[in-house]
Amino acid sequence: MSAEKLSFEDFEPGRRFALGPKPVLAEEIIEFAQEFDPQPMHLDESAGRASILGGLAASGWHTSAMLMRMMADSYIVSALCEGAPGIDLMEWRKPVLAGDTLQGHSTVLEARQMRSRPGMGIVKFRHALENQRGEVVCLSENSVMIRMRLPPEGANMSSELPA
């Protein structure tokens, strides 16, 4: 890929970006859980096996954080991204267990120019992560604000966002 950043114009509906692979380590599951979600099934292998999850399981929020990192590595840091207004969908379909390897893709669902911010567009993505068995473990949808390569004539491209 060239040094030029991806812009709004590069995110056409249907375009897919590969995510991962990302090995999931027991140590990182426990570390995340100790800090953010200290439930037994995320902290201890035997407690995880005794739960409905079937083993030491990553918190859903940890799965979401891993998804975010895979998105960042795949395209976010290579693009003229200005943040996201929120998440429309987050489904944790299957447990993510220590020893799993996650991979998947992000697909552009739609892209539209923002009327309120000339020179910026909103790109809506659908993300799917699978484990090494091909089971979908996480589905998510969200929109990202991305600057245009060629803003409309007269657009204010200030880096300040309105309060």
Residue-by-residue pLDDT tens, the chain, 163 positions: 446 999 999 999 999 999 999 999 999 999 999 999 999 999 999 999 999 999 999 999 999 999 999 999 999 999 999 999 999 999 999 999 999 999 999 999 999 999 999 999 999 999 999 999 999 999 999 999 999 998 666 555 555 444 4
Distance separating alpha carbons of residues 18 and 150, to the nearest angstrom: 26
Burial class of residue 85 in the structure, from the number of CB atoms within 10 Å of its CB (0-12 exposed, 13-18 middle, 19+ buried): exposed
Token code pair at residue 130: 């699978």
In 3D space, the residue among 32, 116, 49, 53 whose CA is nearest the CA of residue 82 turns out to be 116
| Residues in a beta bridge with 32 | none
Give every CB contact of residue 160 below 8 A, 6+ residues apart in sequence: none
